[in-house]
Structure 1
Amino acid sequence: MDTGTHLVMGIALGGLAMADPAVANDATTMTAVIAGTIIGSQIPDVDTVLKLRDNAVYIRHHRGATHSIPAVLVWPLLLSGALWFIFPEVNLLHLWLWTFLAVVLHVFVDIFNSYGTQALRPFSNKWVALGVINTFDPIIFGAHVIALMIWAFGADPVWTISILYIVLVFYYISRFALQSAIKHAIRNTLPGATEIFVAPTMRFFHWRIAADTDKHHYVGRAYGRTINFYDKFPKKPMPDNELIQTALKDKNLSAFVSFSPLYRWEINQYGEILEVRLIDLRYRSNDYYPFVAVAHLDEDYNILNSYTGWIFSEDKLRKKLDFSHN
C-alpha cells in the first residue's frame, strides 16, 4: 500500500489497542503504543531509500528483506526497545505486542497488491502478490479517514475501528470475487490461455488484464466481467545468443527479469548501437507500456548504458539512456 494508507492504518490500530486494559488504563503505555503502531506501520518501507541509489537495486530489493519473516520479528524488537528507552515506565510486553501487530499488518496488506512482497523469505524468494487491491485504494483509505474522524468526534475507538475492520473484510472478499469472475471471463474469451494476470486500478470495476496463449500475448482491460483486449503480440522465444546473454547480465535487465513475470522483448538497431528492450505487459497506460528495461550495446556486445523503470515517453527514455554517443 502507499505511505498514506499505511499511516491511517497505523493510527486505526492504535485506536483498536484501547481494547487492551494495559494500554487503555495507562497514559504512558497508551502514548507509546500509538507511537509504536504508527511507526510500525511505516518501518518496513524503510527500503524506499534504495531508490536514491538506482532503480535496479530498488526493483530487486524493495519489499524484499524488510518485509521478510526475520524482519517482521526484528522490527518490533528494535522499535519497542527504542520507545521503552524514551518511556521507561511503559508496559514493554504490551508495547511489543501492538508494535508487532502493526508491522505484521503492513506486510500482510502489501501482499494483496499486484507488486507484492517477498514475505516468505528466507524460505522462498518468490514474490507473493495476490493482485486484488491497488497500491492506493480510495475506498480503503477513505474508510479509514471516516472512521478516524468519527473517533475524533468522540466515538468509542474500539467499536469504531472494529466496525471498520469488519467492513473491510467484506470489501476484500468482494475484490477476490470480482477478480475470480474476471479470470473466468478471460478463460472463456481465450480458451487456450496459459497465464493470466489481472491487476486492480483505483476504480472498483476497472482492472488491467494480460494473458498468454501458446502463440500470443494479449493485453487489455476489464470492466466488471466485460473483457476488452487492445493489443495482441506474437509470442516468440527469446534468442539464446551472445547479444541476449550479455544484455541479461546487466543489472537493470537482470532486476527487471527477476521482478516481471509477463513481458515481451525487442531487438532494435540504431546505427552502430544494438538495443535489447524488455517490456512489461502488465501496466499498459494510454497505449504505452511504461515499465521497461533497456540495454544499449556496441557491435562487440559491450554494454554502453542501460535503464529500468517507469518511463512514459520515448523522448524521456532516450534522455535516460543518453544518445549523445550516436
Structure 2
Amino acid sequence: MEQFNGRAIISPTPDLTVDSDDGSGEPNQATTNSGSLNLAFGSGPPVSGAEDTASSSLEGFRESHSTAGISERSADLHARAWRSGTRAAYKSAWGQWVCWCHEREIDPVQSPISAVIDYLTFLYDKGLKYPTINAHRSAISKNHAPLGAVQVDQLPVVCEHMRAIFNERIPSPRYTKTWDVEKVLGAIKGWGDNANLSDKLLTGKLAMLLALTSAGRASELQQLDTRYMCIKDDRVTFHLTKRTKTCRPGKTHMVLEFFRFEEDRSSCVVECIEGYLSRSRLWQQTSDEVLRHNLLLSYVKPHGHVKTCTISRWLKDVMKESGLAAEFTAHSTRAASTSKAMGQGISVDDIQKTGKLVKAINF
C-alpha cells in the first residue's frame, strides 16, 4: 500500500490476466503477463477532490459508491460477487490505473471518459493482449463512478474502442497443436502394476488418468472427496460439493464418473483408484489430526490434502516423463483428451457433457 493525497492506495504489481479455464473456487489462475506495466508513483501535487481511493480496492468495497447506504454486513456479502481469481486480477489492474491517473493528476474514481479511452490505448501500445486489456476495463468499471447513470464498461464509446482493440489484436489460442494421449498412456503402461509403483508414481498415474478420462481441471480433481464417492462394478462416481469453474446459479453440483476399462487394466482409471485407495488407507492409520478425506493426497508425510497447483505439477511431471514438450501445461490434458475423443468418433455433444466445455470449437 502507498499513500496518495493522504489516503492509502494499492501499489502496482505485475499485470495479471485471468485464465478462463482454471478452476473453482481457487484462484482461476492469475498469471503474470510478460508485457506488464512498470508504473511508479510520481511526485506531482495531489488531485483536488479525489475520492478515497482506499475504497477502490475490492477489499474496501463497502466504502464504494455502489454500496453506499447499505449495511456493512450487506456490503461484505456484496463483495463476494467476484471470485478470488477475479479479485486478484482486478486489484492489480485497478492499482495500475490509479498510478496512471496519479501521474496525470486525474481522479481515478471520477475521471473523464477520455482518460479511460487513453488508458486503454496506453495498454494496447504496451503490447498487452485483448483479454488483459478487457480485464483492466472491467476493474475500472467496478470501482469508477457511473457516467450519466451508465457503468464505464457499458458506455458505447468504450465498447467501440474495445472492439477496435479486438480487431487489431485478435486473441490467439495458446496452442496450435496438441499432444497424443497414446504417448502418455504408453509411458504409464511401462511403469508396471499399480501394486509395484512407488507412492509418487502411483499418485502421478492416478492424477493423469483422472484428468484424461474426465477432461477435468486440476481444481476439480482436487475436490474429489471419498466421503462423496460411490463405487460400483463398472464405475466410480464422485459428487463435487464445492464451487467449480463452471458453477452457475440454477445448475446442480457437478458429478464426475470414471468407468472401468476391462480391455486394458494397466490404464484403467477404476483399477488405479482402487489400488490408490488401498495404498492411502495405510496413510490414514495414524493418530494425528491431518485431514485425509480427499481422494488425492500428498505422497510425502504426513500425506495430507494438496492444493490445485500441486496436482498441476504432478500432471506436468508425468508429461515430462512421457517425453512431451515443456510448452504444454497441465491444463492441456483437457484439449488432448477431448481431441482424442473426437478422433475416435465420439459426438461433440457427448464431449461437451463429459468435459464441461463451453464451446466444443475450442478443441
TM over 0.5: no
TM bin, normalised by shorter chain, reads under 0.3
- Bigger strand share: 1
Q: TM-score, normalised by structure 1?
A: 0.26
Q: TM-score, normalised by structure 2?
A: 0.24
Q: Which has the higher contact order (CA 8 A, sep 6+)?
A: 2
